[in-house]
Structure 1
Amino acid sequence: MKEIVVPELAESITEGTVAEWLVQKGDKVEKGDPVVELETDKVNVEVNSDFSGVIAEILVGEEDDVEVGDVIAKVDESGEAAGSADSGDAAPKEEPKEEPKQEEKPEAKEEQPQTQDDNKADQPVASPATRKRARELGIDLNEIKPKDPVGRISKEDVEAAAKTKVDAAKNSKKDDQSAEKTEFDKPVERVKMSRRRQTIANKLVEAQHNAAMLTTFNEVDMTNVMELRKQRKEEFEKKHGVKLGFMSFFTKAVIGALKEFPLVNAEIQGKEIVMKKFYDIGVAVSTEEGLVVPVVRDADRLSFAGVEDEIGQLAKKARDGKLGLNDLQGGSFTITNGGIFGSLLSTPIINAPQVGILGMHKIEKRPKVMPDDSIQVRPMMYIAMSYDHRIIDGREAVQFLDRVKQMIEDPYDLLLEG
């Protein structure tokens, strides 16, 4: 019997959650066939079988957490599933097998399951995920009558039992004020956080705990950028096959400012400051599973069209759930655009171990006092830079953001430099 184990996934990733089994007990597999999909901190990965044969045991259920090196399934290379092996509650259950060939010992046959595990024979049939959910809701599986004809208890059965329990408690409260109170007096729904959402939550808190984070603000007059885009957008798209957006302007402006203020393009490792001599710019992308930050590699070497094309491809991969680990690793500085959701002003959180992040916001027409003291209505955008005060002083942060502002307000010069 050969074991399928969780392989080394990637640097810094040591565990994952079983998202979906791609095979069932008894299925034939070839060496290299994917058998299970794991959800990790960053992306979903498929685990392949290192052997050819039949899936004899599945040892973990969907939504169970596993670590690198854990045995998650067994393969019978002889080509026959191990009927005597108990795959546990995680595997699809089969009806107890009858073995008429041993009719001479029927009594011993009937007693065998109890002699192996006296308690297990009395336990209801349910997956580990279902049992875990029942524990969370305080539901006794022995009191649930499953809807499944073979007697397997599902999470839906558990949720229904929990709802019945809550309803009963509420009704009892109405009848008897001394009845025990439930946690909530009104209906709620509990949803397990995905591993990716847990990671996002932990890293955001970690960033605030481990960095002396401050935010400085400025505002940018977007008149010239918008006029330039209006003049060149059709010609640009015909020539390059991509639209000329705002992100390429801000990416190029950030790179120009990073070259003038190199500490913003650094990180802290122990007692050392690591000065990065490359410009891999992370671009925050919102997906259904949460925020991800794919990285535009060597953005300083790309043209405006190259930046727009790379950002577009990465955003599509993110929304389609096809980002690879290499798309997310590294990065020296991050840009996030809350303006696409209507945000007027915000304080972005640093994407550790980076020490700076630029926040863009929505463009809004506001009155502006011009150099000749006239007042004009201009398309304005607030920009914010959060930074790690441990290595970036306030003066540098303010000057960095002001340099970004200058280059955006003079996009023709930026185009020449870019």
Structure 2
Amino acid sequence: DSITEGKLIEWTVAVGDYVEVDEVVARIETDKITVDVNMPESGTITELLAEAEDNVDVGQDFFTFEAGPAPEGGAKKAAAPQEDKPAEAPKAEAKKEEPKKQAPAAAPKAAAPKAAAPAPASFDSRQETRETMSTMRQRIAQRLKDSQNTAAMLTTFNEIDMTNIMALRNKYKDEFLQKHGIKLGFMGAFLKASTSALEHQPMVNAFIEGNEIVHRNYVDISVAVASPKGLVVPVVRNCNQMSMAGIEKEIGRLADLARNNKLAIEDMIGGTFTVSNGGVFGSLMGTPIINPPQSAILGMHGTKMRPVVTESGAIEARPMMYVALTYDHRLIDGREAVTYLRRVKDVIEDPSRLLLEL
């Protein structure tokens, strides 16, 4: 689950520019995020070893510089990027503005009777456009297809009665926000329940490497988060050592970084298990795809009021959520997968189990 290469999107400097330490020199797009490359120390750029759109490997040198103070009347930086950005904008606008300029010319008042020809225009307006897939989208596509081709994926389902966890949230949400400075949601509870389930079923937290099974004594959970550039999966580390409040704070921090495109590579690398909440988009049920090299992923879905037969035989409307665990059957047996999911269900339906360590 490491980053090995990326695409050089743009240079923000040119040869001869003097750049201060930590100023942005270039931007690289990986399969996970867009990364700013900063100047390691103040100096003058002497050579650019790669061009925009080139693929660059992690650790590769792609520019050189001469360290030192700014020269007398030093070269001004950022002239190149300012030219690059306007060059792209007119192209996008030209295609949109050309048909608009033709419309007024073809509509003189004297030709009003011919205005009855809008019907064919609807056919003429049918268009197809093409765009190059971003590096992130290409890598996501490749990794997901590799996952399907490698793992023996199987999905097991269950449903969770959200009554008690919703009551707990409603009772303490204001006090929780006041004390911890973060809203009390359901992701913290599900990560805490998942951590407990992974500790009960450690094989779900393991992975295959060659002919070996790698076991972990820690739980780092990747959380799928929407960002302006697509879905990203930052990692909440050491969940087995964190309180629910700590987990909620970390989820909030990572989500805020994702929304502002400020996630670092270190925030994305690793992860022993993934939790994805399609319910926030209205999903009722789905089968998530494993995030390699992990061996399983939990999919949460929308909470809906459904009729439920209680233990007393009565029928009641309860807030219910379908959950799905996709797992690599090469490593994880059905009994372990079902037991894991049952543990998540038990903890969410009766959160006091965590307090009593049951």
- TM normalised by structure 1 equals 0.69
Aligned-residue Cα RMSD (Å) equals 3.2
- Letter of the 1:354 partner, please give it: Q
Counterpart in 2 of 1:274? 214
Range moving further from structure 2, 225-234 or 202-211? 225-234
Is the 2:219–2:237 contact (alpha carbons within 8 Å) kept by the matching residues of 1?
yes
Is the 1:25–1:92 contact (alpha carbons within 8 Å) kept by the matching residues of 2?
no
Deviations 1:91-123 (A, max 9, x none): 959xxxxxxxxxxxxxxxxxxxxxxxxxxxxxx
| Separation in 2, partners of 1:31, 1:239 | 39
Whether 1:406 aligns to 2:346 is yes
| Separation in 1, partners of 2:218, 2:137 | 30
Alignment of 1:320-399 (within 5 A): 320-399=260-339
Superposition deviation, residue 28 in structure 1: 2.5
Secondary structure at the aligned position of 2:316 is classed as: strand
Q: 2:164 aligns with which of 224, 227, 231?
A: 224
Residues 311 and 187 (structure 1), Cα distance of their counterparts in 2 relative to 1, 3 Å cut: same
- Letter of the 2:193 partner, please give it: A
Counterpart in 2 of 1:45? 35
Is the 1:51–1:75 contact (alpha carbons within 8 Å) kept by the matching residues of 2?
no
Secondary structure at the aligned position of 1:242 is classed as: coil
Alignment of 1:73-92 (within 5 A): 73=63
Counterpart in 2 of 1:198? 138
Residues 218 and 22 (structure 1), Cα distance of their counterparts in 2 relative to 1, 3 Å cut: same
Whether 1:248 aligns to 2:202 is no
Counterpart in 1 of 2:112? none
| Separation in 1, partners of 2:264, 2:80 | 31
For structure 1, which runs of at least 5 residues remain unmatched after alignment? 1-10, 81-90, 94-125, 128-147, 165-183
Q: 1:22 aligns with which of 8, 12, 17?
A: 12
Secondary structure at the aligned position of 2:248 is classed as: helix
Taking only the aligned residue pairs, the percentage that are identical comes to: 52
Secondary structure at the aligned position of 1:399 is classed as: helix
Larger Rg: 1
Counterpart in 2 of 1:64? 54
Is the 1:335–1:359 contact (alpha carbons within 8 Å) kept by the matching residues of 2?
yes
Residues 389 and 48 (structure 1), Cα distance of their counterparts in 2 relative to 1, 3 Å cut: same
Alignment of 1:26-37 (within 5 A): 26-30=16-20, 33-37=23-27
| Separation in 1, partners of 2:236, 2:40 | 34
Deviations 1:316-347 (A, max 9, x none): 11111111122111111111100001000010
How many correspondences in the alignment? 324
- TM normalised by structure 2 equals 0.80
| Separation in 2, partners of 1:53, 1:246 | 49
Q: Relative contact order: is structure 1 or structure 2 higher (C-alpha 8 Å, sep ≥ 6)?
A: 2
Superposition deviation, residue 57 in structure 1: 5.4
- Letter of the 1:290 partner, please give it: G
Residues 189 and 405 (structure 1), Cα distance of their counterparts in 2 relative to 1, 3 Å cut: same
Superposition deviation, residue 252 in structure 1: 1.4
Is the 1:408–1:414 contact (alpha carbons within 8 Å) kept by the matching residues of 2?
no
For structure 2, which runs of at least 5 residues remain unmatched after alignment? 73-78, 99-123
Superposition deviation, residue 414 in structure 1: 2.6
- Letter of the 1:294 partner, please give it: P
Secondary structure at the aligned position of 2:284 is classed as: coil
